[in-house]
A and B are shown apart, each in its own frame.
Chain A
Amino acid sequence: MFCEKAMELIRELHRMNDGQLPAFNEDGLRQVLQEMESLYEQNQADVNEAKGEGRADLIPSIKLRHCCLLRNQRCLVAYLYDRLLRIRALRWEYGSVLPPNIRFHMCSEELQWFSQYKKSLASFMRSLGAGEGLDITQDMKPPKSLYIQVRCLKDHGELEIDDGTVILLKKNSQHFLPRWKCEQLIRQGVLEHVVS
């Protein structure tokens, strides 16, 4: 049956229902487009014949191929769109810099889209609060205190805080840091929030 390749793309995404981004399936996409091209060509030929030689009996087959064209189109659009939703989520979960193993799974248009999304989000956040700017990716939960206790889960190098002090984030070391400095690092699994 037609459209099996397109279904493969959809299944691939559906299997990873937690929002992980599988590698961009360029090959699969190309195969679907090829199938669409040949469906279109066959239909074009049959349409000409149906018109020219009055072969109305060809119409059901033309219609069937047309359905397949639309189906393939739907699957491709849904595939690309769902990937964009996942890529957008990455900005909120990882921050503006993505780890290389994730970037590796994106095609160049997706990388471009990510960087534009990043930019519009940044300029929106800068425009808030009468020019002061507001980071809306912070404080996803109402904060209880300005400073929190954290433990380093891995070596992360140096971190500079507001007053200019530089802190070395070494595995297993504990620190008392401004909450807003830590939130993203906690989300990324670098730090762990220690609750006494």
Chain B
Amino acid sequence: MDPAEVEFLAEKETVKIIPNFSLDRIYLIGGDLGPFNPGLPVDVPVWLALNLKQRQKCRIVPPEWMDVEKLEEMRDLERKEDAFTPVPSPYYMELTKLLLNHASDNIPKADEIRTLVKDIWDTRIAKLRLSADSFISQQEAHAKLDNLTLMEINTIRAFLLDSLNSMYKLRSNLQPGSSKGQFMDF
């Protein structure tokens, strides 16, 4: 998967905005939106929020977890635990990037948040590699991917799948004849 596609999926998450215009409810295949009233918070998908924000039609209310104190707690927990801790949103990385790039004026301490989220990401990716290595060295056959997000899996997917595939083939060498292939004259 291309990261751009993962980001596209993240844009379907909802976020609260405070519009500065009024508009009746609109009915779309993906769900109804609105109604929009100036000053009244309303939930909309991220793609719409960013579009409105770019045209200066709204203010974006950052998600609750996008907060320095909460993120610091998460970072410390992530560093302490061996396993992956639950993340505040399955798209925490994508949302951080999207919202900070387009609406940093609506998010208090934007720079600190950016650094914290990056720290959490780095810690998790290091864990991911560590577990991939022990997965291979112990020749495991299955793994739980609890609490991993799509973007995280996506960075290592091709590599890990190709590696597992090669390892599987090399392991089937240990029992010749067990694989379906018979001797073939190429």
Binding site for B on A (CB under 8 A): 67, 70-71, 74, 141-142
Contact = CB atoms under 8 A, between A and B. Distances in A.
A71 B186 contact: yes
Interface in B17-75: none
Contacts of A142: 4-5, 7-8
A86 to B, nearest CB: 22
A71 B184 CA distance: 12
B2 interface: yes
B185 A70 contact: yes
B11 to A, nearest CB: 8
B103 to A, nearest CB: 15
Interface of B: 2, 4-5, 7-8, 185-186
Contact of B4 (A67, A70, A74, A141): A141
Contacts of B185: 67, 70
Contacts of A67: 185
Nearest to A66: B185
11 contacts: A67-B185, A70-B185, A70-B186, A71-B186, A74-B186, A141-B2, A141-B4, A141-B5, A142-B5, A142-B7, A142-B8
Binding site of A, secondary structure by majority: helix, strand, loop or mixed?
Answer: helix
Contacts, number: 12
A141 B2 CA distance: 8
Contacts of A141: 2, 4-5
Contacts of A71: 186
A67 B5 CA distance: 48
A142 B1 CA distance: 12
B45 to A, nearest CB: 14
Nearest to A145: B51
B27 to A, nearest CB: 21
Contacts of B4: 141-142
B100 to A, nearest CB: 16
A159 to B, nearest CB: 26
Nearest to B5: A142
A142 B5 CA distance: 6
Nearest to B7: A142
A71 B2 CA distance: 39
A70 B186 CA distance: 7
A142 B12 CA distance: 13
A142 B2 CA distance: 10
Given A141-B2, A142-B4, 10 more contacts: A67-B185, A70-B185, A70-B186, A71-B186, A74-B186, A141-B4, A141-B5, A142-B5, A142-B7, A142-B8
A67 B185 CA distance: 8
Nearest to B2: A141
A27 to B, nearest CB: 25
Contacts of B2: 141
Contacts of B5: 141-142
Q: Max chain B CB contacts within 10 Å: which of A70, A71, A74, A142?
A: A142
Contacts of B7: 142
Nearest to B186: A74
Nearest to B6: A142
B117 to A, nearest CB: 22
A67 B186 CA distance: 8
A10 B186 CA distance: 15
A27 B77 CA distance: 68
